[in-house]
Structure 1
Amino acid sequence: MSLSNRRILILYGSETGTAQDKAEEIDRMCQRLRFHTDLDAMDNVKLNDLLQDYELVCFVIATTGQGHFPNSSRKFWKDLRRAKLPPNCLETPIPEEEPLPPRYTLSVRLSDAKGAPMQEQADEARSSPDFPPPLLLPHPNVNSAVVISNKRVTPSDHWQDVRLIELDVTFPLVHGMAYEPLPGDRVVVYPKNYPSDVQKLIDLMEWGSVADKQISLGAQSPNGLYPAENSTLRDLLTHNIDFMAVPSRSFLHKLAFYTTNVDHKEKLFELVQPDASQEFYDFTSRPRRTILEVLAEFYSSKIPYEAVPDVFPIIRGREFSIANGGKHWKKRQVIKRQHETSDDDAHRDGAVVYRLDVLAALVEYRTIIRKPREGLCSRYLKNLPAGTPLHVGMKRETPPPNGSISAERPLIGIATGTGVAPVRSLIHDRMRSLPRAETVLFFGCRNKGADFHFHEEWAGTEDLTVVPAFSRDPKDPEQPEPEANPAPTPKVTPDIKKTTEKQAINGSSGTSGTSGTEEQSATTEPSVVVYSYDEGKNYVQHLIRRHADKVCELLRKDAIICLCGNSGRMPKSVREALRDAAVSGGFCKDPEEAEKRLFDEKDPNKVVYWEETW
């Protein structure tokens, strides 16, 4: 490509930092090729400026969940899909190696944005004495919050620590109006490093003489870095710098230039070579080795404190779905007294306070490294004491159908683990409305006595049926085995409502396969498809197929489907189960029609289907 000037704009859309790291790598490569480069997040650039000022633009996007665009790129992507764009204004993209679900592939996305065909894929609590100080950072668009409680909701001997954290979040009143949460909204929490880890880093880098002196970052601070006023180096390391992250290629590449040991320098350069992907993975991602551990291993590396913002990654906010709604928000208004003054004009009318619940599964695991691994935010939340002041952000995308009109339609909720949080918020929202249609919740977890979240609350919730799947519990010994040659009986549609109490207490019958104890015989019961990875288990997809008649009954009443949980195999398996249930229950005549009615966005008769996975 011939260019009148060697100028390139590199834009990234990143949720976890993967795309940003790759974009920085491309930026350095282009500079070596004598390009003048500009690097920024996609939503920070206006499309009109892009088309006028640049002849060459490179987009680096790492999708999130089931192939969704990251938050930092969605506004720009909508602009890019405008019909008035010149045809073929986008050149060929080169995606990363990991495949996306077929319905989310980049070739499909690109066709919406008038791009060229795609090339072949490229390679690629309880508060601890050491708890971080509660310094509030000036992140944009944050709200003041206070921790009300932090309770573990799984047994102490359970392998996973799940926390229910209550926050009082304050929203300013402007002209008598304030932000009002909706089901599906997310709270953004900004974790911090522990002082003992900060001191280890200071000692390793020999920054002791400057650690507590005020530092100036200048005008070229990285995107996402919002230090507190008059910050010291120690403050920056505690509240802004993520040195407990797994190192990226770009970090190791930068580190090599601050290493005096020849062997260390050679090893670092070897790890970042494009043909050393496996070695890089084995050294970093596989053991989940942290930056702090890497610096201890390459002890000859001494990074100047002035280079900290350029070399180290920035702490990102972690998003958690709101787990409550309706009257459980305990909304209250705080009126500002006339004699009070404030420099913040946004609070001149007072504020509204909402009690927001967060259900968080803490990340704790072991690798080949002896020391147990903990996520930065998980460790922070684990010891977050009541009374701690916070700054939290609020994120909203497309909320699930909510409000009084939507409450008149049945709801089929499908959730696994902590994915029950947004569904619970929606159920709370529906409880405010009358008339109100019924809700059926298919909930999957490991054990009835460990992570059956909110089961006591469900027992007293009106118009709600919970059908639980306990994937790791042994089969109920009182459950009779199916007869080898059952006598033919008339097909009976299971009345889920009548068995709600039994199901909520004992779990849904059956574990997997075609063995079932519904009121139907083996000759009339809808078949349960078992795949190799879920054989012998009891997952929500099995229950959806078993209760196909009930699912179709609700679909005929214009039901809303909401799916929430992990973005691994579960969403695909549930979609397949819904498709099978729609056919076996008589809502659709064949799988092709079911696929179209349930998931085809272009079908005018499509069922309302909302999904949030992570």
Structure 2
Amino acid sequence: MPRRARPEGVTSGRSRKSEVSAGPGLRSLGREARRRRLGCRVQALDSYPVVNLINEPLVIFVCATTGQGDPPDNMKNFWRFIFRKNLPSTSLCQMDFAVLGLGDSSYAKFNFVAKKLYRRLLQLGGTALLPVCLGDDQHELGPDAAIDPWLHTLWEKVLGLHPMPIGLDVIPPGVPLPSKFALQFFQEAPEMCSGEQRGARTEPQSPPSELQPFLARMVTNRRVTGPSHFQDVRLIEFDITGSGINFAAGDVVLILPQNAASHVQQFCQALGLDPDQCFMLQPREPDVSCPERLPQPCSVRHLVSQYLDIASVPRRSFFELLACLSPHELERDKLLELSSPAGQEELSQYCSRPRRTALEVLCDFPHTAAAIPPDYLLDLIPPIRPRAFSIASSLLARPSRLQILMAVVQYQTRLKEPRRGLCSSWLASLDPEQGPVQVPLWVRPGGLTFPQAPDTPVIMVGPGTGVAPFRAAVQERVAQGRTENFLFFGCRQRDQDFYWEAEWKELEERGCLSLVTAFSRDQERKVYVQHRLRELGPLVWELLDHRGAYFYLAGNAKYMPADVSEALTSIFREEGGLSGPEAAAYLARLQRTLRYQTETWA
């Protein structure tokens, strides 16, 4: 039964720039609201008229954090509005709210957006139903470790304010809710309804976006690590002629990957689907719209290969819905156990830790998989999210070209089959020398911005593939006649993963670049970029304190950012004569004024 309470949400697609996707939290909240007969809308905040907030009695915000404590792209307009200084302190006095943050504690700005939003809503007069929830992807049980008890309290509070209508109860977890969409199948020639790349384009219209990406021709796909190196790293170049795409150093390119053809076939076999069959998608509720990325009509092959993320590691909600749909007693009992609060450790052991995919889970529960109604496919499997890569080239140096430096993700768990990154494996499999290859992509501003003043030095620390945005910055700055470029690059071995060695040396000879290297495995004692920073402490202090240099850091978020920060504070103490607290305050001031910027990923 529709109710006046209308939870709203904000989501962000996961990328290397984002702590974690908020999508699973939104789906779970929306489903649980429906079970409690609450008429709700679940939508991105930038698609919601923010001025209507003053009329909402109950709002639940779900938000991730990107970049350096920044809101996700689909929250930025809302973010600017909600922090306007002229908003009255009583603006939201009629609104009850709750904030759920989905984050990753390996990031320095862990759940920063959720914390800041919570404080701002209180400032505007909103009433918090309970403290902000800080979900952590690094917890051994994932974000659910914090979310489960928080949700239990939340629904108690909500039902206290908005009790169930007389004669109605909460729909129990074992009863499936109606699917959001109906798939109306029909017989048609596959070429009439496959819709391959219908949303993409090769000619200029409006700026490319997720809903209308540009089909860029892959020009080269070359391995740049040595044959004996443990990691396959690719330099990939795209031709963006006629796209209207423009970008600057620090920007990122987003790429929509596809599932492997073998996985598409395996998925269709497990669910008894004909990949060449066509369907029309019809929403079951008036306020639900069809995904704009899906063409109408659409083939099953297009849906599975280009939309459903069957290679993702499923969340608990996946098992909850499977249990509701399963006709097989033994499989249903196991699915109920895995989706119960008491079964979260077993779910972690079975799925999260070994990184078992949705497709592999379905193959482990064959009777359940074969009985899944096609109408529930979009409820069960999330959409493929675009992957973001730092752009590694400048239009000033390579007009109409865009390059990325990509490490192919592959690692072993206790499962027999190696785990592979969806996007990196797909891109690595494409060979432009065997025929034309087109990749859907678009560009957005990144988290790094470089100074406009021509005489401002920049210090860039980019170990491994973290050097990618700095290659774009060096190319751009050199083309503009800016030669005060100091690059600290680190890798394992000079002869295996020293990216762009010849290019850096040529720029050094021209006086356009000062390069400092750290090859950690080329000597008995491991040497990293933070060691080189300390060795050149007088130069770093001179550049930062006397010449107003900007400092940039990009790379893995696990240990390196903390080690570099420690090296900097040590330099501030030793070269600047600052005390420990003064050195920490100096670093904080650099961060606050954007003279210290980081782009890291877990």
TM range (shorter): 0.7 to 0.9
Kindly report which structure 2 residues correspond to 1:115-134, keeping only aligned pairs within 5 A, or say none: 118=131, 123-124=145-146
1:87 corresponds to = 89
Q: Does 1:168 align with 2:259?
A: no
Change (3 A) 1:472 1:224: farther
Change (3 A) 1:274 1:82: farther
Q: 1:65 touches 1:567 (CA, 8 Å); kept in 2?
A: no
2:539 aligned residue (550, 555, 558): 550
Identical counterparts, % of pairs: 32
Q: 1:144 touches 1:170 (CA, 8 Å); kept in 2?
A: no
2:574 corresponds to = 584
1:383 aligned residue (420, 425, 429): 429
Per-residue deviation, 1:590: 2.5
Change (3 A) 1:5 1:326: closer
1:284 corresponds to = 351
2:12 corresponds to = 14
1:274 aligned residue (316, 324, 341): 341
2:266 aligned residue (200, 224, 241): 200
1:45 aligned residue (30, 38, 48): 48
Q: 1:413 touches 1:563 (CA, 8 Å); kept in 2?
A: yes
Cα separation, 2, equivalents of 1:19 and 1:233:
27
1:566 aligned residue (556, 560, 565): 556
Give the number of the structure whose residues are more often helix, by fraction: 2
Change (3 A) 1:424 1:140: same
Per-residue deviation, 1:163: 0.6
2:248 corresponds to = 182
1:324 corresponds to = 393
Give per-residue Cα distances to partners, 1:288-331, cap 9 Å, x unaligned.
Answer: 1111111110111122223222221111111111101153222x
1:215 aligned residue (272, 275, 279): 279
Cα separation, 2, equivalents of 1:217 and 1:468:
55
Per-residue deviation, 1:192: 0.7
Give per-residue Cα distances to partners, 1:470-527, cap 9 Å, x unaligned.
Answer: 223333xxxxxxxxxxxxxxxxxxxxxxxxxxxxxxxxxxx4xxxxxxxxxxxxxxxx
2:158 corresponds to = none
Kindly report which structure 2 residues correspond to 1:145-160, keeping only aligned pairs within 5 A, or say none: 145-160=216-231
Q: 2:107 touches 2:557 (CA, 8 Å); kept in 1?
A: no
Per-residue deviation, 1:159: 1.3
TM-score when normalising by structure 1: 0.76
Kindly report which structure 2 residues correspond to 1:401-420, keeping only aligned pairs within 5 A, or say none: 401-403=450-452, 405=453, 407-420=454-467
2:185 corresponds to = none
Per-residue deviation, 1:223: 7.1
2:516 aligned residue (467, 485, 497): 467
Q: 1:107 touches 1:118 (CA, 8 Å); kept in 2?
A: no
Whichever residue aligns with residue 235 of structure 2, its letter is L
2:75 corresponds to = 73
2:420 corresponds to = 374
Q: RMSD in angstroms over aligned alpha carbons?
A: 2.8
Cα separation, 2, equivalents of 1:159 and 1:133:
39
Per-residue deviation, 1:430: 0.7
2:374 corresponds to = 305
SS at structure 1 position matched to 2:282: coil
Cα separation, 2, equivalents of 1:446 and 1:276:
41
Q: Which has the larger radius of gyration?
A: 1
TM-score when normalising by structure 2: 0.78
Change (3 A) 1:24 1:578: same
Whichever residue aligns with residue 581 of structure 2, its letter is E
Per-residue deviation, 1:235: 1.7
Give ranges in structure 2 of 5+ residues lacking alignment.
15-19, 136-144, 147-193, 201-209
1:293 aligned residue (354, 360, 363): 360
Give ranges in structure 1 of 5+ residues lacking alignment.
125-131, 173-177, 331-353, 476-510, 512-536
Matched positions, count: 507
Give per-residue Cα distances to partners, 1:398-437, cap 9 Å, x unaligned.
Answer: 542255x2x4211100112111111110101111123x34
Per-residue deviation, 1:18: 3.7
2:494 corresponds to = 448
Change (3 A) 1:71 1:97: closer
Per-residue deviation, 1:141: 4.5
Q: 2:62 touches 2:102 (CA, 8 Å); kept in 1?
A: no
1:60 corresponds to = 62
